[in-house]
Amino acid sequence: MPTVNLSTAEVEHYERYGYTLYKKQLFSQDKMTELSNIFEEQWEQVGRRLNSELDTPHFRDERLLKFLLSDEVLDLVEPIIGANIGLWSSHFICKEPLIGKQTPWHEDSAYWNGRLDRFDKIVTVWLAIDRSSKENGCMRVIPGTHNNGFSEYDQVDGNENIFETEIRKVDDSKAVYFELEPGECSLHDSRIIHGAAPNKSPLRRCGYTMRYFSTEAKVIEEKNANHKIWLARGKDLAGNRFVNA
């Protein structure tokens, strides 16, 4: 595999707009097949339906650490948040054909409010396991909203949405859609406004999110019961309790 890295232009785009796309293969074909097989096992275990048990799958299956702590991923992340990197979380996200629910407009940081003492250097790598397109409900973002602070939310119908709250008054005409082939990925800031339409197509849409934070941030232990973090690269700067430190 060629060296994985971001160009100066891609890093500048991320800093300005809160996201960038990496339209190359992140892992080798063998490694991507291995990851896809782990997802299929996990999905089978929860009855092949979207389920909250697909959150933090690496807590249950440490085979995933091979990917989460890999140079391929960390070499992408380092230009964004620096050389001292903590693994915050991961999540298999699967929208089933025809019935995959909408992901309402949200900021990841809003769901983690109070769990860390800062949110300015947290990045999500969203790796496509299936092809991700407008047709099957790919992720979409509102560029530049990563500097807006926490938004106000309204209640929405939980039967039609993955979450029961949504940011109010989002101008979706400004949305940028992340269309990715299997093995490609996107990177987005934890504070950017993003979401996804429902999957009404006959095509499944699955991705693996890998989330990282600068160890300048302090993880508030009393707000993170049973949550585990790994020191992925570099050193701890804020006195966090890492599994592997």
Average pLDDT of every residue of the chain: 93
Q: Is residue 113 part of a domain?
A: yes
Q: Is residue 2 part of a domain?
A: no
| Domain count across the chain | 1
In this prediction, residue 88 has a pLDDT band, given cuts at 50, 70 and 90, of: very high
Q: Is residue 245 part of a domain?
A: no
How high is the pLDDT of residue 142?
97
- Name the residue range of residue 146's domain: 8-233
How high is the pLDDT of residue 3?
66
Q: What whole-number percentage of the chain has pLDDT above 90?
A: 77
Cβ-based neighbours of 159, under 8 Å, separated by 6 or more: none
Element (H, E) at 144: none
Q: Is residue 134 part of a domain?
A: yes
Q: Is residue 243 part of a domain?
A: no
Half-sphere CA count of 196, side-chain side, radius 13 A: 24
The rounded distance, in Å, linking the Cα atoms of 231 and 79 is 17
Instruction: Name the residue among 210, 208, 201, 243 with its Cα closest to residue 224.
Output: 243
Per-residue pLDDT, averaged over 128-153, amounts to: 94
Q: Is residue 137 part of a domain?
A: yes
Q: Is residue 101 part of a domain?
A: yes
Most confident listed range (36-50, 137-151, 154-168) = 137-151
Q: Tell the burial category of 225 from Cβ atoms under 10 Å away from its Cβ (0-12, 13-18, 19+).
A: exposed
How high is the pLDDT of residue 89?
97
How high is the pLDDT of residue 2?
52
List the CATH number of the domain containing 175.
Answer: 2.60.120.620
Element (H, E) at 93: strand 85-95
Q: Is residue 1 part of a domain?
A: no
Per-residue pLDDT, averaged over 201-224, amounts to: 96
| pTM of the predicted model as reported, rounded to 2 decimal places | 0.93
One-letter amino acid of 236: D
What's the CA angle centered on 105, arms 44 and 87, to 5 degrees?
A: 55
Q: What is the dihedral of CA 236, 238, 239, 241, to 10 degrees?
A: -70
Are the beta carbons of 121 and 234 closer than 8 angstroms?
Answer: no
